[in-house]
Amino acid sequence: MTKRNNLLIFILTIGVFGIINTEMGVIGLLPSIADHFHISVSKAGWLVSLFALTIAVSGPTMPLLFSGINRKKVMLLVLGVFVLGNIVSIFTTNFTILLIARIIPAFFHPIYCSLAFTVVASSVSKEEAPKAVSKVFIGVSAGMVAGVPIASFIESAVSYEMAMAFFAIVNFIVFIATLIFVPSMPVEERLSYGTQFSVLKKPIIWLSIVTVILLNAAIFGVYSYFVEYLKTVTNMSPNTISLTLFIFGGASIIGNIVAGRLLTHSAIKSVVSFPLLLGAVYIILFFTGQFTVPMAIITLIWGILAGGIMANINQYLIVSSAPEAPDFANGLFISSCNVGTTLGAAVGGLFISQMGTQYVVLVGILSLILSLVTILLRNYMYSPTEKLSKSALARD
């Protein structure tokens, strides 16, 4: 049973990597896409921003619509849509068609990710769920941080078409692995849409959504402009910048594993301590960001904390607020993260244009202060004693 579970977790981790990689990997190809389609880089950027916006809109609804269908069939459908979208992206010469080939898979993106988290969590005991989910989040981190340099490298070494083919190949491999190795997973107890939507009546879920938006804004408000910061404030060379980004990526994968283990043992403490520590890191970054060696050390610690927050802690906050509707809760998590990313990047850009690049760190600090207020309020409303009484009632 454990071997079968491990294989399932591995397939879902690679699957999530393929899906996130399709979303984020394009960032490294934007200049090439601009050249390829004879458009501006900012117009090419629509491929990223419209994808994220589509996920934010479809996040709560699409997992809900597919929540009653056999999970294996749904996974194959989503992977199939992604493979077809990727194939169209390789061969099209029309930017509008490329945009459509990106937006259609984006509608299905939350379904796969939501299912992956739900299936993994339900394949192990409740206590082990955060640790199991943290393994799938390695795929999320790898997709977010490894996808960009890999696609960029393939494009410079071979061609733009081969870089786009990389996305298709990863998704196709997962499609075949799912077809062969993943058992049929019919939904035994289908929750009505009304039951799932009713979680929105709980104040705790809205508090959790706001917290996740603020936490993701705190990370991506700064990380979105990290390359620009390293170039203009730290004065790093392009090679050193690449190495620093690699450090951040590797550290965020470590952060996933660490946060997954900590949440299993002491969830409340982890939820409070990670943002507090990240705030301290941002304050140090603000004062020492112009020095290369301190910057490298800060990046390592920042990556660990960011990796733990943007995946495990954010997901835990929302799913623990609505355990009775896991698919819908995971959809809300994906949607909230994308809203936070978009909001953080927009406010970060505003700070840079008004005050200068080094002040982008203030976006992170301000977002974290607000998130700590909502976290403490959430902990007050959702105390462990209340949780225990609820679970006792559920058992009775």
Per-residue pLDDT of the chain (396 residues; tens, 9 = 90+): 477 778 888 999 999 999 988 887 887 687 788 888 998 877 887 887 788 888 888 888 888 888 888 989 999 999 999 999 999 999 999 999 999 999 999 999 989 988 888 888 887 777 777 778 878 878 877 787 777 778 877 887 888 889 889 999 999 999 999 999 988 888 776 667 777 777 888 888 999 999 999 999 999 888 878 877 888 888 888 778 778 877 888 888 888 888 888 887 888 888 888 899 999 999 999 999 888 899 999 999 999 998 888 778 888 888 888 888 877 888 888 889 888 888 888 888 888 888 988 898 999 999 999 999 999 998 887 765 444 334 433 433
pLDDT of the residue at 300: 93
pLDDT of the residue at 105: 94
Q: How far apart are CA 96 and CA 89, in angstroms?
A: 11
pLDDT of the residue at 385: 41
Rounded to two decimals, the pTM is 0.78
pLDDT of the residue at 302: 93
Q: Supply 257's token pair.
A: 């594993």
**Residue 162, burial from CB neighbour count under 10 angstroms (0-12, 13-18, 19+):** middle
